[in-house]
A and B are shown apart, each in its own frame.
Chain A
Amino acid sequence: MKAAIVVFPGTNRERDMAIALERATGRKPALLFHRETELPAGTDLVVLPGGFSYGDYLRCGAMAAQSPVMQAVKRFAAGGGHVLGVCNGFQILCEAGLLPGALLRNAALRFLSMDCHMRVERAGTPFTAHWQQGAVFRAPMAHGDGNFFADDETLARLNGEGLVAFRYCTPAGEVTPAANRNGARDNIAGILSPNLRLCGLMPHPEDLVDPLMGGEDGLPLFTSLLDQFASA
């Protein structure tokens, strides 16, 4: 799998993402600076990692969504390419119009840094193939603006068409208000595009891929993607 990680000014989880991808695939991903206008030839997966692109001084992700490299990412996505956006990357995908909805300030108006649990709502996609439907996994989250919002109509479509990838839940897998720390609508932690090739989520599976750091719960995301391209 040839992966490219995009680095915007203020991106800060590109190293974490590179470590996770390399651990899963055995191959170092390319790092792509925001001023690039073309993706490396043969790119299978583009990753927009976490951080504070442009300081999050406008709406989170709004400025990064306008940067030169995003034109290339949009063309890649339109051509059926696979794109993963995590945290700030999810915000950028929403701001770029590649995924629906928006990430608002956390309901309690505070930054949240803690482990959360998520339930896999749609197994069998390029991003979730190595989980069972309904599987529960853990990942750190670290964000101030992760409160997923979409209007009723969009929400109904996401839910109805099986485009919700992950929901916040208790360790036992119950989707409860208490498990929904940032106040996201319908406990939504991550969503998919209709062609299932774009995925955005707020928590950080890339920071939980090593027993030394407390577990390997996040690894299936990356091994799923690897399989996708190994079999292609």
Chain B
Amino acid sequence: MQLLPADRAAQLAAEFGLKQDEYARVLAILGRAPSLTELGIFSVMWSEHCSYKSSRYWLRTLPTKAPWVIHGPGENAGVIDIGDGLAAIFKMESHNHPSFIEPYQGAATGVGGILRDVFTMGARPIANLNALRFGHPDAPRMKRVIDGVVRGIGGYGNCVGVPTVGGEVNFHSAYNGNPLVNAMTVGIAPRDRIFLSAAAGLGNPVVYVGSKTGRDGIHGATMASAEFSADSEEKRPTVQIGDPFVEKLLIEACLELMATDMIVAIQDMGAAGLTSSSVEMAGKGGVGIELVMENVPQREAGMTAYEMMLSESQERMLMILKPGREAEAEAIFRKWELDFAVIGHLTDTGRIVIRHHGVLEADIPLAPLESEAPLYQRPTAETPKQPVLDAADIDAPIGALPALEKLVGSLDLCSRRWIWDQYDSTVGGQTVQRPGGADAAVVKLEGLPRALAMTTDCTPRYCQADPEAGGAQAVAEAWRNLTAVGARPLAITDNMNFGNPEKPEIMGQFASAVRGMAAACLALDFPVVSGNVSLYNETQGRGILPTPAIGGVGVLEDAAQAVGLALRPGLDLVLVGATAGWLGQSLWLREIAGREEGAPPPVDLAAERRHGDFVRAQILSGAVAACHDCADGGLLVTVAEMAMGGATGATLAAPPAGIAPHGWWFGEDQGRYVLAVADGAALLAAAAAAGVPALALGCSGGGDLVLADGSSISVARLVAAHEATLPALMQGDAG
């Protein structure tokens, strides 16, 4: 084995992102200087991206168990029991850094990667969602980023034939230099046919399938574990190129193979490619692994072992087969015109050994690679509490309806149609609620009445002002959105996007957000089953808003029971939940009063659960025609969204005495829903009996939104303001 000279090795270790003490640990484990390939393996396995070295300490405190959880964090994706002998497998993952450097491919490969995390466990993917944060559209490059990310998500998802059914988008200048692209996939598998990644069986063949390995994405995981500087464009070679056509073939081939009994273990080659898949599979199984690099299918001639181990070429999987089944398995992959190669075998040495044309390139003990991996309990600094604002102390510069018209056209509340219209949301033929039709997407399970509801949620401005309250709110809002379509919320995946964890105030945000999330997960019986952490989201020292994006999944026994948010005429509108008129961190305060300040609305988790359970029971009883949770923008925006959704107006009662009108209409108090029902009195009586606050809000009909003071605005005018914003910003072909 060719070892690196000591000074060269130390210099390279620093370039690869290893800290001095981390490199010292490498030397101690090996008892000698590393080869180039070995140093590459250590540096990617111990990168923030792969090792979670700053976040692991805190992530352990999240609730991960419930009777319906089959596999929690630690596998490629989370697995939950959804009834009828089926499991839902899902996860959300970030592709933030690559998407800023190369928006189309960064976002596309983000979708490809999360799809593989799900189908590698045996699931057919049935839905994609995403959570996107962009900078202000007028910031440099940002329109190109928005355009490229949307095209990339569509380009990949549309081609693989998995419907993109939901998501969320925020715009804030804090993301100008570091947009966030979080992609989520939900798949379905028989609950007794889940495939795991722990390798087993001395001598069993290690098989590589999918695309060939090229020189793309080398050290992608290292890139994703560092801040951006002014020269981030120079990092374009670290971004991978996606091929959704091959992914589609890979899905079909893997599912065909999974219907047999040939597979012992399987894992996709994601971040850190062949390195992380082989190290993790062998490590989890407590076995050794020996790889022969010349057998790896290669896209170009002359690749070195180092390049092959570090490449992040897409659409590749690694699996351990039962002995003697290679030819049978190969026939399936040949049928789908994919590469299939036996590239090694399992050993009992507990080491990863890599040879290339007979030359030893790496020989590392696996146990210390994992057990000695850095784990930091970094210093934290609490975010200072912001004052609670009283609506009565804030002047309303304009009236409720002019404010509403402005709000529904504002960046964070305007219609996302320009985005959805580029995503195939109907392929599969099971999409019950498409984007915009309801608080959560609803996708039916083929051949069954059962359906899954899915959502992604986070309110970063709340998290910035109070990470603990914001973390709890993100979980609660996902729970609420699932509830609002009638689904029973089951579990979440989390995608923690934060700045540089070496800064105590950033690590403090992280720790507080986890604390808030954990409290909400416990109170709502809504455990975390999978997740991903993306740190160092900073450009030239400026961090993003803390963004713990939550992907929630719930179940409906019967898809026909799902409700949407579109208002129909002739219904009573009832507000469920209590309103204090909380304007701190509200969109009204930001967009109308021009202030980004105050404490965000707190979530009363006990009340949240009580209100949600009540609303869900009402929906499942068939009493509810439409339901929408009160979120960004407050009550009047909620009603306006229902009105626009159904092209139906409404007449609303006056605000109750003792509350400032702008607090009533635009406060973002949590735990609230607006229900449209045929019999408002019956609903109010049921709420009273259940001890849930509720009040009559008005009734639907006509083409205008009418307030008690006689002022009104036509729904058509609201629609015009709502729909105009994004097309106007993105007009023309920015790509």
B427 near A13 (CB under 8 angstroms)?
yes
B423 near A113 (CB under 8 angstroms)?
yes
Greatest chain A CB density within 10 A among B420, B423, B430, B559 is at B430
Binding site for A on B (CB under 8 A): 151, 154-155, 158-161, 243-246, 248-249, 336-337, 420-432, 434, 444, 446, 559-560, 733, 735
A55 near B426 (CB under 8 angstroms)?
no
Greatest chain B CB density within 10 A among A209, A210, A212 is at A212
CB-CB < 8 A to A129: which residues of B? Answer: none
Say whether A20 faces chain B, with CB atoms less than 8 Å apart: yes
A57 near B245 (CB under 8 angstroms)?
yes
CB-CB < 8 A to B159: which residues of A? Answer: 10, 12, 52, 55-56
A12 near B248 (CB under 8 angstroms)?
yes
B428 near A16 (CB under 8 angstroms)?
yes
Can you add 18 more A-B contacts, CB < 8 Å, to A12-B161, A19-B429?
Answer: A9-B337, A10-B248, A15-B428, A16-B427, A19-B446, A52-B161, A55-B245, A55-B246, A110-B422, A110-B733, A111-B151, A112-B422, A113-B422, A113-B426, A206-B429, A212-B560, A213-B426, A213-B431
A109 vs chain B, min Cβ distance (A) = 6
Partner of B243, one of A9, A50, A55, A140: A55
A181 vs chain B, min Cβ distance (A) = 9
Say whether A142 faces chain B, with CB atoms less than 8 Å apart: yes
B160 near A213 (CB under 8 angstroms)?
no
Which residues of chain A in 181-232 are interfacial with respect to chain B, using CB atoms and an 8 Å cutoff?
204, 206-207, 209-210, 212-214
A213 near B430 (CB under 8 angstroms)?
yes
Closest to B161 in A: A12
A207 near B560 (CB under 8 angstroms)?
no
A10 near B429 (CB under 8 angstroms)?
no
Partner of B429, one of A54, A57, A109, A207: A207
Partner of B158, one of A15, A140, A142, A204: A142
A10 near B245 (CB under 8 angstroms)?
yes
Closest to A18 in B: B429
Say whether A29 faces chain B, with CB atoms less than 8 Å apart: no
With A12-B160, A113-B420 as known contacts, state yes or no: A140 contacts B426, CB within 8 Å.
yes
B243 near A204 (CB under 8 angstroms)?
no
B653 vs chain A, min Cβ distance (A) = 33
Partner of B426, one of A9, A54, A108, A207: A207
Partner of A113, one of B151, B160, B337, B425: B425
B429 near A51 (CB under 8 angstroms)?
no
Partner of A52, one of B244, B420, B425: B244
CB-CB < 8 A to A9: which residues of B? Answer: 245, 248-249, 336-337
Which residues of chain A in 103-120 are interfacial with respect to chain B, using CB atoms and an 8 Å cutoff?
108-114
CA distance A56 to B248 in the complex (A): 13
Residue contacts A-B, CB under 8 angstroms, 11 given:
A15-B428, A55-B246, A56-B159, A108-B733, A111-B422, A111-B424, A113-B420, A113-B426, A144-B158, A204-B426, A213-B431
CB-CB < 8 A to B735: which residues of A? Answer: 109
CB-CB < 8 A to B432: which residues of A? Answer: 212-213
CB-CB < 8 A to A213: which residues of B? Answer: 426, 429-432, 444
A212 near B444 (CB under 8 angstroms)?
yes
B129 vs chain A, min Cβ distance (A) = 15
CA distance A114 to B160 in the complex (A): 18
CB-CB < 8 A to A113: which residues of B? Answer: 154, 158, 420-426
A13 near B161 (CB under 8 angstroms)?
yes
A52 near B424 (CB under 8 angstroms)?
no
A211 vs chain B, min Cβ distance (A) = 9
Closest to B147 in A: A110
CB-CB < 8 A to B424: which residues of A? Answer: 111, 113, 142
Closest to A53 in B: B245
Sort chain A's interface into a size bin: 20 to 34
CA distance A112 to B244 in the complex (A): 18
A54 near B158 (CB under 8 angstroms)?
no
CA distance A207 to B432 in the complex (A): 11
CA distance A16 to B425 in the complex (A): 13
Greatest chain A CB density within 10 A among B249, B422, B429, B559 is at B429
Greatest chain A CB density within 10 A among B248, B249, B560, B735 is at B248
CB-CB < 8 A to B560: which residues of A? Answer: 212
CA distance A228 to B318 in the complex (A): 49
Binding site for B on A (CB under 8 A): 9-10, 12-13, 15-16, 19-20, 50-52, 54-57, 108-114, 140, 142, 144, 204, 206-207, 209-210, 212-214
A86 vs chain B, min Cβ distance (A) = 12
CB-CB < 8 A to A110: which residues of B? Answer: 151, 421-422, 733
CA distance A155 to B732 in the complex (A): 29
Greatest chain B CB density within 10 A among A12, A108, A206, A209 is at A12
Closest to A110 in B: B422
CB-CB < 8 A to B244: which residues of A? Answer: 52, 55
A206 vs chain B, min Cβ distance (A) = 7
A20 near B245 (CB under 8 angstroms)?
no
Partner of A112, one of B151, B337, B421, B427: B421
B453 vs chain A, min Cβ distance (A) = 14
B333 vs chain A, min Cβ distance (A) = 12
CB-CB < 8 A to B337: which residues of A? Answer: 9
CB-CB < 8 A to B160: which residues of A? Answer: 12
With A10-B245, A111-B158, A113-B422 as known contacts, state yes or no: A142 contacts B429, CB within 8 Å.
no
CA distance A16 to B246 in the complex (A): 21
CA distance A140 to B428 in the complex (A): 12
CA distance A111 to B560 in the complex (A): 30
Partner of B446, one of A15, A50, A112, A206: A15
B111 vs chain A, min Cβ distance (A) = 14
CA distance A106 to B160 in the complex (A): 20
Closest to A140 in B: B426
B429 near A20 (CB under 8 angstroms)?
yes
B671 vs chain A, min Cβ distance (A) = 30
The 3 closest A-B pairs by CB, nearest first: A12-B161, A55-B245, A16-B429
A60 vs chain B, min Cβ distance (A) = 11
A56 vs chain B, min Cβ distance (A) = 7
With A55-B243, A113-B423, A212-B444 as known contacts, state yes or no: A15 contacts B429, CB within 8 Å.
yes
A52 near B248 (CB under 8 angstroms)?
yes
B299 vs chain A, min Cβ distance (A) = 16
CB-CB < 8 A to A20: which residues of B? Answer: 429
B178 vs chain A, min Cβ distance (A) = 26
B123 vs chain A, min Cβ distance (A) = 15
CA distance A15 to B430 in the complex (A): 10
A209 vs chain B, min Cβ distance (A) = 8
CB-CB < 8 A to B423: which residues of A? Answer: 111, 113
CA distance A9 to B333 in the complex (A): 12
A109 near B249 (CB under 8 angstroms)?
no
A50 vs chain B, min Cβ distance (A) = 8
CA distance A112 to B427 in the complex (A): 13
CB-CB < 8 A to B444: which residues of A? Answer: 212-213
A142 near B249 (CB under 8 angstroms)?
no
CA distance A46 to B18 in the complex (A): 59
CB-CB < 8 A to A55: which residues of B? Answer: 159, 243-246
Closest to A108 in B: B733
Closest to B442 in A: A212
CB-CB < 8 A to A57: which residues of B? Answer: 245
B440 vs chain A, min Cβ distance (A) = 16
Closest to B451 in A: A212
CA distance A138 to B159 in the complex (A): 23
CA distance A54 to B423 in the complex (A): 20
Closest to A206 in B: B429
CA distance A82 to B161 in the complex (A): 26
CA distance A57 to B155 in the complex (A): 12
CB-CB < 8 A to A19: which residues of B? Answer: 429, 446
B245 near A12 (CB under 8 angstroms)?
no
CB-CB < 8 A to B426: which residues of A? Answer: 113, 140, 142, 204, 207, 213
CB-CB < 8 A to B249: which residues of A? Answer: 9-10
CA distance A19 to B151 in the complex (A): 29
CB-CB < 8 A to A114: which residues of B? Answer: 421
CA distance A204 to B424 in the complex (A): 11
Partner of B427, one of A54, A142, A214: A142
